[in-house]
Chain A
């Protein structure tokens, strides 16, 4: 079966660092994507990991451990505009479609 687990909600303050964890179980594995989605808007691509380790992209970094079925998204120097849902989406080996969890809603306050 397929299962993705992320915290439902997180809160943080401007300028802080926050880590959003994701654990997953899929039928095979073909990489993991992180997307950001503001309410009522389209998901926008943040990062892609297929090998173990950390991928850094500006204020955002994403980490993957395939053996543990675990990933996290690290957001640094938080800004108010980072308030959004963050979706962890592994891709199983069989197909090319993404499997989305329900996402983590992050609220950033001043």
Chain B
């Protein structure tokens, strides 16, 4: 079965600092990977997705993620944190049939002014 692991349930960064949210996947076949963001009391919004076209994926709001097969990782980064980035972030992997997404447990990002 496929799964993703998000290291660090809470991450705090200063405004303007680098954001790094970690995600490792477990998959026996090339996966399709997704990052979602959830703002307070809202649903999930897609940030970006990897579908094997390019290993460096750019998303909305200045976020990007790099697929590294050798490390089975798909970490999310943003060069400079903004206060509006404070939210919960979820990594997800799509099953082979695509019927199911398997979500990580989420990382709560706090941005300190």
Q: Tell me, yes or no, whether A binds B.
A: no
Could you list which residues of chain A lie within 8 angstroms of chain B, going by C-beta atoms? none
